[in-house]
Amino acid sequence: MDPILEMRGITKEFPGVKALDNVNMVVRRGEIRALCGENGAGKSTLMKVLSGVYPHGSYDGEILYNGKPMAFRGIPDSEELGIVIIHQELALVPQMSIAENIFLGNEIATRGVIDRHETNRRTAELLAKVGLRESPETKVGELGMGKQQLVEIAKALSKKVDLLILDEPTSSLNENDSAALLRLLAGFREQGMTAIMISHKLNEISQVCDSITVLRDGATVSHHSGMVPESQIIKDMVGRSMNDRYPPREPKIGEVVMQVRDWTVADPLREGRMLVDNASFELKRGEVLGIAGLMGAGRTELAMSLFGRSMGDFRKGSATIRGKEVDLATVPKAIKAGLAYVTEDRKSLGLVLEDTIRRNIPLANLKGISTRGVIDRHREGQVARDYRKQINIRSSSVDQVMANLSGGNQQKVVLSKWLFSEPEILILDEPTRGIDVGAKYEIYTIIRDLAAAGKSIIVISSEMPELLGITDRILVMNEGRLVGDMPTAEATQERIMSIIIKSGHNLTEEDITPEEIEAEVAHV
Amino acid sequence: MSDTTETRAGGDTFGFIRRNIREYGILFALIIIMAFFQVVTGGILFRPVNLTNLFLQNSHIVIMAVGMLLIIVAGHIDLSVGSVAAFVGALAALMIVKLGLPIPVVVVLSLMAGALIGAAQGYWVAYWKIPSFIVTLAGMLIFRGLTMWILQGQSIGPFPREFQMIASGFIPDFFGPDKPNTLSLILGWGAALIILWLQVRNRRREETLGIADEPFAFFVAKNALIFVALAWMTWALANFRGLPNVFIVMAVLVALYAFLSERTTIGRRIFAIGGNAKAAKLSGINSERVVFLTFMNMGMLAALAGLVVSARLNSATPKAGVGFELDVIAAVFIGGASMSGGVGTVIGAVVGAFIMGVMNNGMSILGIGIDYQQVIKGLVLMAAVIFDVSNKSKS
């Protein structure tokens, strides 16, 4: 065994919090190591210690790299030795080209004058390595998330990399792009690169990782070399056994509540392309309806266009709620009609991050806490405290600022906000993205209880097991069209995937062979 | 992020101050600055005559600062307020001196003109999404130009005594002309008592709900200080010439806007838009209309400030209001508002305005040259913002 990295007794304290408590980790040369743990377990902190974001001296413990003790003062120090970190939130400038992004801060230049030919030539080489067929001069903003992630990796490769750290690299990718990324990582391993991958997705971990380290509450709780059952990893992560990842429920489905007919929304940026194309569906009382599909299939577009035409150019279509046609032309009208929409991107679309829990919750229903435009602060506080207790928002008080909450608790606040608007129909867009296993279960429980209380719920999710686990019926969407509709009891991941693939023509550009499709389906 | 319960009632005073340093830091800064100038000017600062001057000289900044606070909280800026104030001042002068219209009519028309100007600018900002910096920069040039055009490069004045009273009059005393001014005492002390009562009532309600955050000792000390300061100030002013009219206007506006920003749904919407415009929109808030109204309101307040300034100077001049926008914006930022929107308080902005005012006044008493004064004010603004930023990164 030839360790490339040893971290010994790493302890890192922030004012009032011990983020890392005597963490030990040894990484072998040439392996892919998975680093798992709930949000707040200390994974990112540990990687920041390793890459020098937290300089030597701000933590206790020792880092041995290639057998030598290291004292990084900052990221440049660690990068020089071949340790490169790719953060969860991509650090790309959308207005700049791929080539400009890759060599940002590291330009190929003579006396300050950039050599564009050499830059583009080297970029083309790097893009070939990561399998991205794009011109080096393409603006990054024009690329999808999957391709942006590849650019980020190409950027990492532009430096000398021996140890690549990826912080949830697939969190914003669809199944196809995730699979491609994982294949790429496996390829790098063949060439002798070592990688540490932080991930929540246990299926991906079992796919490419050689060993697993689990952190909980800032301490190493287990290390597994080779594969172990998912249930074991989950147990290590949450500190309790979780046989059931989804709460049991008995659906009580009633009459049809909402009907959408021929809903069509055009892409404002590309002439003639439809984001949503003649979508028609029904939603029943007490039903949890899932919408499956790849990223860019039009699911968010469908939801947001229903919710006050917040996305795309509305072309045609009608919506009826309880048999009456409703006007959903603006967000206030949609809310009045009984709709609520919990966004996919809670930080930039769902919350006022610098504000407190108390002030975020009533935002969609200020009338509910005010009389003639004057806010009753005591009522407001009461509402916030009730939700905090009812759906278990973990915080010091309702006056805590949103930015300081974990992802799962932020999501619970967004949910509270929409619950307080008392909707009949709740659309949840990727409700558990970036949330740890424990909080996911709580969110599922909330969804179940809402359905039991007679609300109708639409769940958009890219995690198929989740859809299979919590919904009653699943719609499949691809290229803006609804291409499948089945009871969840009859659905399988394979069936959904094959519907998507058979219905699509856009996949030709990805050049996916039948073998790859099979491999894909087997993985998910 | 442990699951602690809300057991904070009556926590330690020092810890509380540290947690809320931004909120109280600005007030401490004002107290320290006032104490400093009181000492170095040999007690001139707090003399009734100077105190009265302090209010008269800074009223227009305070009036505009409450509107600017809302603009900045909504994530915008208004550079045109100085020009708008000058323009409306000129318009009023024209109506009074040249046309001989009655004062109340002129006041109403002037405020309407201001609101119209604000609405015109707000329209482009809110519905056309043109950056407010650009729109109001254009407004600043346009209304400065129009002011010069209306006045033909001359000053218009003097005004009838009735109009001057807006800025330099004092409230009458129905209880006879002898000092102290009884009505002033009643109003001032009454207001101090009402504030005290509101605070105590709120504290009681918080305590019954078990959510009182402030340590009790701190609560008592803070309110005692505010009460004594208000009562003493009233006494001092009442023994001079009484409360200035413009002081009443200012106090009413500050109370109204503090209430509006903190306790009403429109206020809450302004904060949400500045904090996260997209989230606000998806929460069903009509951001366009709110931003439009915020600008309209600013225009009206700028007009009011324009009336006050021209009444005080007893003439409308082409150069009136030059640089006001900078003083007003500085006051708002010193008062803790965030450049990126979503954060700020009306009281903070008012305190910020008085920090600038006391420094202007104190330095003038000391005979410090205008050159040094500018440098020092710039440094104070910078210090306030640095304090803010470092405070934020620590927490």
* Nearest residue of chain B to residue A336 (CA atoms): B284
Task: Please indicate whether, in this complex, the C-beta atoms of B1 and A348 are within 8 angstroms of each other.
Answer: no
d(CA A8, CA A177): 35
Instruction: Give the orientation angle of helix A230-238 with respect to helix A437-452, to 10 degrees.
Output: 90
> For chain A, what's the residue count?
524
Both tokens of A117, joined, read: 């030919």
pLDDT for position A273: 82
Q: What is the largest CA-CA distance in chain A?
A: 73
d(CA A173, CA A148): 10
Closest CA to A198 of A308, A78, A324, A89: A89
Partner-chain residue, chosen from A348, A354, A370, that has the shortest CB–CB distance to B343 = A354
The alpha helices in chain B, defined as continuous H runs, are: 13-19, 21-40, 48-73, 81-93, 103-127, 132-151, 161-168, 182-209, 216-238, 245-263, 265-275, 277-282, 287-313, 324-334, 346-366, 370-394
Instruction: Give the B-side interface with A, CB within 8 Å.
Output: 1-4, 6, 8, 205, 209, 211, 213, 262-269, 271-272, 275-276, 278-286, 338, 342-343
- DSSP, residue by residue, B269-299: HHHHHHH-HHHHHHTT--HHHHHHHHHHHHH
* Nearest residue of chain B to residue A355 (CA atoms): B275
d(CA A322, CA A341): 19
Q: Which candidate in A300, A331, A344, A372 is best for mutational testing of the B interface (most B CBs within 10 A)?
A: A331
Closest CA to A42 of A201, A219, A221: A219
* Rg over CA atoms, chain B: 22
Closest CA to B165 of B314, B270, B10: B314
d(CA A51, CA A67): 16
Q: Give me the residues paired with residue A276 across strands.
A: A265
d(CA B80, CA B303): 11
Kind and range of the H or E element at A284?
strand A274-284
Q: Report chain A residues whose CB lies below 8 A from the CB of B208.
A: none
* Nearest residue of chain B to residue A374 (CA atoms): B264
| Residue A374, number of CB atoms within 10 A of its CB | 15
Task: Please indicate whether, in this complex, the C-beta atoms of A332 and B284 are within 8 angstroms of each other.
Answer: yes
Does A351 contact B at CB distance below 8 Å?
yes
pLDDT for position A15: 63
What is the interface pTM, i.e. ipTM, of the complex?
0.79
* Nearest residue of chain A to residue B263 (CA atoms): A375
Q: Report chain B residues whose CB lies below 8 A from the CB of A351.
A: 276, 279
* Nearest residue of chain A to residue B262 (CA atoms): A375
Partner-chain residue, chosen from B2, B264, B283, that has the shortest CB–CB distance to A363 = B283
d(CA A472, CA A452): 12
From the CA of A129, how many Å to the nearest CA of chain B?
Answer: 38
Both tokens of A22, joined, read: 């005597």
Q: Report chain A residues whose CB lies below 8 A from the CB of B4.
A: 396
d(CA A163, CA A28): 10
Partner-chain residue, chosen from B3, B278, B283, that has the shortest CB–CB distance to A394 = B3
What are the 10-residue block averages of pLDDT along chain A, 524 residues in total?
88 76 91 83 87 89 92 88 84 87 85 87 90 88 83 88 89 78 90 88 84 87 82 74 74 92 88 88 95 86 92 91 93 94 88 92 93 91 93 87 86 94 94 81 92 94 87 92 93 84 55 48 47
- DSSP, residue by residue, B170-234: B---TT-SSSS-HHHHHHHHHHHHHHHHHHHHHHHHHHHHT---S-HHHHHHHHHHHHHHHHHHH
pLDDT for position A406: 81
Most confident of A297-301, A345-349, B82-86, B206-210: B82-86
d(CA A461, CA A463): 5
Q: Which candidate in B276, B288, B293, B392 is best for mutational testing of the A interface (most A CBs within 10 A)?
A: B276
Q: What dihedral angle (degrees, nearest 10) is formed by the CA atoms of B108, B114, B117, B118?
A: -120
Counting Cα atoms < 13 Å in the Cβ hemisphere of A190 gives 6
Task: Please indicate whether, in this complex, the C-beta atoms of A366 and B343 are within 8 angstroms of each other.
Answer: no
Q: Report chain B residues whose CB lies below 8 A from the CB of A373.
A: 264-266
| Residue B346, number of CB atoms within 10 A of its CB | 27
For B280, residues 6+ apart whose C-beta sits below 8 A from its C-beta are A352, A363, B269, B272, B273, B287
Task: Please indicate whether, in this complex, the C-beta atoms of B264 and A370 are within 8 angstroms of each other.
Answer: yes
Does A251 contact B at CB distance below 8 Å?
no
- Is residue B180 reached through a cis peptide bond, with omega within 30 degrees of 0 on the bond before it? yes
Partner-chain residue, chosen from B1, B264, B269, that has the shortest CB–CB distance to A406 = B1
From the CA of A459, how many Å to the nearest CA of chain B?
Answer: 18
Task: Please indicate whether, in this complex, the C-beta atoms of B1 and A367 are within 8 angstroms of each other.
Answer: no
Instruction: Give the orientation angle of helix B103-127 with respect to helix B161-168, to 10 degrees.
Output: 60
Cβ density class B99-137: b for 16+ within 10 Å, e for less: eeeebeebbebbbebbbebbbebbbbbbeeeeebeebbb
* Nearest residue of chain B to residue A346 (CA atoms): B279
Yes or no: say if B27 and B20 are a contact pair by the CB < 8 Å rule: no
- Report A:266-325 residues touching B (Cβ under 8 A): 307-308, 310
Task: Please indicate whether, in this complex, the C-beta atoms of A363 and B271 are within 8 angstroms of each other.
Answer: no
- Report A:387-426 residues touching B (Cβ under 8 A): 394-399, 404-406, 409, 417, 421
d(CA A411, CA B314): 59
| φ, ψ (nearest 5 deg) of residue B229 | -60, -45
Q: Report which DSSP code applies to A510.
A: G
B119, pLDDT greater than 90: yes
In the block, which residue shows the tokens 């509101």?
A: B198
Give the dihedral sign, CA A74/A76/A81/A82.
positive
Candidate from A395-404, B32-41, B44-53, B228-237 with smallest mean pLDDT: A395-404
Task: Please indicate whether, in this complex, the C-beta atoms of B1 and A331 are within 8 angstroms of each other.
Answer: no
Does A355 contact B at CB distance below 8 Å?
yes
From the CA of A172, how many Å to the nearest CA of chain B?
Answer: 20
In the block, which residue shows the tokens 């094959």?
A: A498
Q: Give me the residues paired with residue B316 across strands.
A: B156
d(CA B101, CA B27): 43
Q: Give me the residues paired with residue A426 across strands.
A: A340, A457
